[in-house]
Each structure stands twice: as C-alpha cells, then as structure tokens.
Amino acid sequence: MNSLELKIPPVLLVLIFVADMLILRWLFPRPEFGFTGQLYVSVGLVVVGIVLPALGFLQFYKHKTTVDPMHPEASSQIVQAGVYKHTRNPMYLGFLLLLCGLGVYLGNVASLVMLPLFVWYMNRFQILPEERILKEKFGHAYQQYKGRVRRWI
C-alpha cells in the first residue's frame, strides 16, 4: 500500500471524492436530510474550504517554500506563521470543509460516507509521508512544531 504514498495530488483527490459523493447520491438517493439554513451552511463551509487553502498557499509563497504536496522534500523551511499557527494542514482541512459543504448541500447520507474516507486517505497516504520527510529534513524543529500545532484542528 505504500505505493500510494504521495502519488495522487490532493486537488485531484478532492475531485475524485466529489465525483464519488455525486455517484453515491445517485446510487443511494435515500435517506436524505434537510434543515433550515442548509444552503447557507453549505455555502459557508465551501467558502471557508476555499479560504483556508488560499491562506496556506499565501504563507508558503511569502516564506518562499514549495507548495508542491508531491515533493515535501523540496521544502525550504517549516512555515509556522499565519494559519499554520493553528493547523499543520490548512490546505487539507480546507479541502475537507469543501467536501463537507458539498455533503450538506446534497443532503444525502450516503455521500457523507466519503468524508471519513477522505480523512483516512489523507492521513495515511499524504500527511504521514509528508511528516516523515519533514522530520528527516528539519529534525527537532519539526518535532517541536508537531508538538505545538495539531495535524487537523
């Protein structure tokens, strides 16, 4: 299973999960859910799901380090400013919130199954390999950062 580590770009993975959520809604239209303000909640989640990765990207750009999730070894430093003071993975957290927004918008229970699968996949095949590489590259400084800031939230 290690062959999947750092192989699928996270943005592509989000698109795959969006497609999966839509397919599940089509295959299993029931049970559904709905609530007052559902559209507002879904739009809010999507907006935050777009803003968080953008803020993360801007911090990487500001600190002149790579934003390429397929090559964490190319990182020139540990970014600990801005949104990275609160989460080590604002881009991935944003992608999850975007998927949550879609799930709320669809109002379909079956499509929500994809959310924990996304977290599992990202942890196993993207985040853990990144952390291993960053620990090798930055050593104690990265360990200290991991001790202060949570992986997701």
**At residue 7, does pLDDT exceed 70?**
yes
Q: Is 2 contained in some domain?
A: no
144 within some domain: yes
In this predicted structure, what is the pLDDT of residue 82? 98
Number of domains composing the chain: 1
Asked if residue 153 is part of any domain, the answer here is no
Distance, CA of 58 to CA of 90 (rounded, Å): 11
For residue 25, being part of any structural domain is answered with yes
pTM: 0.96
Is the pLDDT confidence value at 134 over 90? yes
Does any domain span residue 1?
Answer: no
- Kindly state the DSSP code that residue 108 receives in the 8-state scheme: B
Identify the pLDDT of residue 45: 99
Question: Do residues 152 and 89 lie in contact, with contact meaning Cβ atoms separated by under 8 Å?
Answer: yes
Domain of 85, in residue numbers: 7-67+74-148
Which DSSP string do the residues of 118-148 spell out, in sequence order? HHHHIIIIIIHHHHHHHHHHHTHHHHHHHHH
Q: Does residue 128 belong to any structural domain of this protein?
A: yes
Task: Give the whole-angstrom CA distance, residue 84 versus residue 79.
Answer: 7
13-30: pLDDT as tens digits: 999 999 999 999 999 999
Quick one: pLDDT band at residue 6, thresholds 50, 70, 90?
very high
pLDDT of res. 3: 87
Mean pLDDT of the chain: 97
pLDDT digits (tens, 9 = 90+) for 72-126: 999 999 999 999 999 999 999 999 999 999 999 999 999 999 999 999 999 999 9
